[in-house]
């Protein structure tokens, strides 16, 4: 080889150029394909719907105007004003509320007109129903009993005329002069009573209990047709003057006539549960007393 001649190109150099050109052409083709695909997808996509928001915009209502103030009335001269009169003191109603921490018992209801009518026809046991109504009427008018020094017990001997008016009232004993005066005031305020059941003067004794624990229970009537048992005393008592000897036999209670007993039982009223309970309580206190075992 002569020095004027150039050496031939290396074969690997031409190959590198061919490979680079081929890669560039492939990349350009791939970019064109991707761009065409995106354009096709955008053309096929459905159109987006426009969302419209509606707002209800109303003008604000004006605030209500404040009410017109009424001018105050003109003052009245003192000379034209009427002279005020002092109010008359009104009668204060009776205070029925119990003091705090003190026991009390309200007054029982007064007998009704129907109860008085039935009592005026009940002749058994010295007008037993009439006597009970009389005591209940007095206790009702005495008012509420409070625990304290104003409570007490009083026992009267009463005589009622055949017309129903009070003929005589005697105090047998009392534990409180205030309670006695209160009971006498209530007796004066009693309404007119019906005539006595047997048309004769009615004489009896009655105890009025005015305290915060005792309430008079209604009486029992189921034994009113039976005769009263004889008064039993000490058979061995000697008066120091009569001759001594064996005690006499006590008389046996007389037996009632069967027909009279049947007729009497028909007019007896029906006893209440309160009356039965009160009678049981009395018997329990009587026979359950510790004094009986001594």
Q: What is the pLDDT of residue 5?
A: 47
Percent of residues in the chain assigned helix, strand, coil, to nearest 5: 35, 10, 55
Determine contact, residues 137/110, Cβ cutoff 8 Å: yes
Q: What is the pLDDT of residue 187?
A: 96
**146 lies in a domain?**
yes
Cα separation, 76 vs 62, in Å, equals 41
In DSSP terms, 285 is beta-bridged to none
81 has pLDDT over 70: no
**215 lies in a domain?**
yes
15 has pLDDT over 90: no
Domains held by the chain: number: 1
Choice among 74-83, 164-173, 194-203, 267-276 with the minimum mean pLDDT: 74-83
Cα separation, 148 vs 153, in Å, equals 13
**194 lies in a domain?**
yes
- Three-state SS string over 52-76 comes to CCCCCCCCCCCCCCCCCCCCCCCCC
Choice among 13-17, 59-63, 92-96, 193-197 with the minimum mean pLDDT: 92-96
**78 lies in a domain?**
no
pLDDT in tens, 164-222: 999 999 999 999 999 999 999 999 999 999 999 999 999 999 999 999 988 888 899 99
**256 lies in a domain?**
no
Q: What is the helix (H) or strand (E) element at residue 175, kind and residue range?
A: none
Who wins on pLDDT, 154 or 61?
154
Could you list the residue range(s) of the whole structural domain that residue 123 is in?
A: 111-225
State how far the alpha carbon of 90 is from the alpha carbons of 85, 86, 93, 94, 185, in Å. 15, 12, 9, 12, 22
SS3 273: helix
Q: Please report which confidence band the pLDDT of residue 74 belongs to, taking 50, 70 and 90 as the band edges.
A: low
The model's pTM is 0.59
**41 lies in a domain?**
no
2 has pLDDT over 50: no
């Amino acid at each position: 080889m002569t020095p004027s001649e150039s050496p031939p190109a290396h074969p690997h150099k031409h190959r590198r150029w061919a490979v680079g050109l081929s890669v560039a052409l492939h990349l350009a083709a791939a970019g064109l394909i991707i761009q065409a695909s995106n354009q096709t997808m955008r053309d096929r996509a459905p159109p987006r719907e426009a969302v419209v928001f509606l707002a209800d915009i109303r003008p604000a209502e004006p605030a209500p105007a404040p009410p017109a103030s009424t001018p105050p009335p003109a003052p009245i001269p003192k000379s034209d004003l009427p002279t005020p009169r002092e109010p008359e003191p009104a009668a204060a109603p009776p205070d029925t509320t119990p003091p705090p921490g003190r026991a009390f018992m309200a007054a029982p209801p007064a007998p009704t007109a129907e109860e008085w009518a039935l009592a005026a026809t009940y002749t058994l046991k010295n007008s037993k129903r009439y006597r009970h109504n009389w005591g209940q009427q007095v206790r009702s008018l005495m008012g509420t009993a409070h625990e304290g020094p104003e409570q007490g017990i009083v026992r009267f001997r009463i005589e009622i005329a055949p017309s129903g008016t009070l003929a005589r009232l005697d105090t047998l004993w009392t534990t409180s002069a205030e309670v006695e005066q209160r009971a006498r005031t209530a007796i004066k305020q009693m309404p007119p009573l019906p005539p006595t059941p047997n048309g004769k003067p009615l004489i009896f004794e009655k105890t009025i209990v005015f305290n915060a624990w005792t309430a008079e229970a209604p009486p029992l009537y189921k034994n009113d047709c039976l005769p009263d048992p004889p008064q039993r005393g000490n058979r061995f008592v000697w008066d120091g003057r009569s001759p001594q000897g064996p005690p006499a036999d006590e008389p046996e209670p007389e037996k009632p006539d069967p027909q009279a007993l049947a007729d009497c039982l028909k007019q007896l009223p029906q006893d209440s549960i309160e009356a039965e309970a009160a009678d049981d309580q009395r018997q329990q206190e009587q026979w359950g007393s510790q004094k009986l075992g001594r």
